[in-house]
Structure 1
Amino acid sequence: MAHLLPGISAARIPTDRLAVNVLQLDGRAGIPVVLVHGNVSSGLFWQQLMLDLPEQYRPIAIDLRGFGDTDPEPVDATRGVADYADDVRATLAALQIEQAHLVGWSLGGGVVLQCLIDAPSTFASVTLVNPVSPFGFGGTSGPDGTPVEPVGLGSGGGTANPGFIAQLAAGDRSADSPLSPRNVLLAHYVKPPFVPDGLDTLVESMLSTRLGEDHYPGDFTVTDVWPGVLAGGRGVLNTISPNNLRLDDLSALAVKPPILWVRGGDDVIVSDTSLYDFARLGELGVVPGWPGPQAYPVQPMVSQTRAVLEEYAAAGGAYREVEIAGTGHSPFLEKPAEFLAALTATLDSAG
């Protein structure tokens, strides 16, 4: 593959669910570290981190279904992110990996939490990188994730920007439109004016996203209640709608591996003031008609994650929160040395 860095190879791994594209380091053995990417991306985002990991670790970057070179099987969002999590676990089984460390970014953070819930003894540690809130994306309030009524309002497939979808569909590799994948990455995936190495490869990764109701963004229904859309049951964005996703009951797990939570201090995607939250856009006047904080409050995404992890710790688990200042949604790209230090400290201590 033209977009692979030297020393990294790709292979499509047959599993009992689908064929999954996996990136690995040539000749690297050691303790498996499984890397799960976020929305509108692929395993290509992890390449530099893979090369930077110490030799005792074996990095494995997985393309989720409908991204990269993994089979574009439809996504049943009524299961939350379980389709993705089941694919990850099936891939580990096909690779004959019995235990691994998990790293999940954004949407992938939700996926690795689902993996942890489903098979906690399988994972030595879990690292969350700017993860989706355990209560979903959009349409909840407070640290306990109280849903806005009706549940799923302002979340799911109807929340994606149609202009951005059009640029993805057109395969736009330019910087001509503010909604081109290149410009969205530079404006929101990272904190401006940072420009990541291998930008062209990252754009190709974004363009590998399959589009439609079964993939990105997914289906939705319209409603007369502001902001006018309700989450559906198919496709990517509906997997993280509050009516489909519940990842908050980590405290009940019988086995509690350590959790590292790394977040960019200036993330505008997953934030207590997210620019992708309809309520925040309404509060700013960008989306007219906002009914106010009583009817539709801004979602405190970071506070919700912290509340769930505090409950995990109170129940006998352990977590560490690391904020990397001056970075956006992708601290592993923006300040790789700081990110690697936090990650390897967790990997080394977990054993």
Structure 2
Amino acid sequence: MSFEHNFTTTGNVNGPALSAVLALETVTAFIANTVVLSITLYQRKSWKQSSTIFFTSLILSHLVMVFLYLPLCVIAVAAEEWIFGSTFEQQIATCSFAAYVIWYCVLVIQMTLAIISFDRFLFIVKPRIHKRLMRPWTALAFTIGIWILAAILNSGPFVGLGEYEYDDTYGSCVPLWQGNNGYVLYMLIISMISITIILITSIWTFCFTRRFINDQSQVSGDSVYVSRKKRLFGIFGSMLLVYGICFLPSIISGGITTVVILPDPVYAVNMVTFQFITVASPLVQSYFRPDIKAAIISFFALFAPALKKWQGLTSRSHETSTSLPA
């Protein structure tokens, strides 16, 4: 482990302000992910689909960050020092735990996105194979395997491959990239395997679907196929977009940091954008997944009559008050 600092920040970042933003993200992420998870657990029919299990895996990885990493991060950033542990050894242990959790969730997310892309490819391009292979119990086995494999692959710093550090630029614990070229290469290989699977299966699926829609629209002349072209991007494309937007600043900064040191506020902004994925991902699922969307609409529909009645009473009360003589 690399803990060259005394677990206090440099003071170049406004800790309380950054902590407030991260706290807001934490609360919002908790609500959004809990709602999606609750609806998914309630909608038992949706569990027959392998995609439901994989999307739930993403939700669980977000909740792990929300419960095990972000509270520590929020408190430490606000205090502008790592306060978890009465001794230096205890601080090292808790900091290592926090750093392990954040990168463990990242690996789970990467691998889960890869299996979702593969599942989508089979469902569209090879439906017969998908029906035989991607049964609910098989999807669950894949998911459990991903979580176990991510835990093993992420244990490098505990066996001498890579290090964790207290990032004194803004006050949290993360893997140490600078000066750890072997560890960077190791993680890059793992990431590239997931990215390669996503690229190959996504491009293949997109080309196959687009060709099918073009063929059907030319044969039938039905405009419905034209509208379907706009939905090719769909939930998976939207999720890849938001994950890419949220992760890209940290990836770019991580690559640059192996050569030069960036200003402290850059790392603070990276943390905010990185953690925003815990909010954006469940929102994307809520919009695109029919079971989630229908449940949310039904929930608000229950309160619509009461809201209209309350608005009517408020309106009449206002009219009565304005009509009274002064």
Fold shared per TM-score above 0.5: no
TM-score (norm 2): 0.27
Question: More helix by proportion, 1 or 2?
Answer: 2
Question: More strand by proportion, 1 or 2?
Answer: 1
Q: Which is greater in Rg?
A: 2
TM-score (norm 1): 0.25
Greater RCO (Cα-Cα under 8 Å, separation 6 or more): 2
